[in-house]
Structure 1
Amino acid sequence: MFELVEPIATVTFSEVPNEAFLALGMRNYWDGYFAGRAAPLGLVPAEVVHAVFYNFADGEVARHIPWVWGKTTPQEAIAVRERGSATALRQMIGELADSRGLVRVAELAARAAVSAPTEGRALYAGLRALAVPQEPVARLWHAATLL
């Protein structure tokens, strides 16, 4: 399942969402990365983001959080990440984006994505608390980020 879902979720780290974050005033890729990834956690300090992400060198998160929240809000970062990621996914899958099959896949993926417990999964819980997009490509991307 990882090999099927991960390419959908990782469009978030591609050029289209990155350009959208740069247009908001982010200084570089990593500002947009941390704004987009940390946004479901809300306005928490860098120490919390570091603990949740747990794989960055000491001080790396603090170079971006809370600076990014001076340029955008978590709500705006969530919207930019979703729009940019859905656009990137549409570009990747071409005409499949408008197929009935995609609507069904997005529905099934969304159902599966909310079936796991949230206990001990802070980022997953934050993502689960977000509204599920209605547009099928965005819905599939959102589900993939959860899965």
Structure 2
Amino acid sequence: MTPEEIRRCKMIGDVNLFLPDGLAGQGECEIMIASKDDRRKGYAVEALQLFLRHLAQHLPLDPLQLIVKIASANIPSIKLFQTLGFGIVKHVKVFDEVEMHYAKPDDADILADLNLDSKRPARDGPKAIWEEIDLQGRIGMYYP
């Protein structure tokens, strides 16, 4: 897409990476799709795949440093990150949220406590589908 085409697009949410300890520490990913009308349409998974691939290609940040924190009741978001290769490693009860780390297995005890199933796709090793995406010509990516 050209810069002009990108400017005409409607913003439906955002994707962020927080680096509280700089590139040497963990990177906390988050996504927000604002309107309920825009949810459950694949936008979040598409945006996150492109975002994660962009991070892996353009930042000196090991994907194993990536984490997410999600409200325990937000099952769609938990399942989304499971499909992207993140596993539930901690349940922070005081905040009622789960912490997920990239390429880590789901903790079976936490899954049972929260009445969740592991929905992570089978794969050889920790590599997720987003690690193979070619960013050339993708939406929102413009390099003159």
TM bin, normalised by shorter chain, reads: under 0.3
Largest Rg, 1 or 2: 2
Q: TM-score, normalised by structure 1?
A: 0.28
TM-score (norm 2): 0.28
More helix by share: 1
Structure (1 or 2) with the greater strand fraction = 2
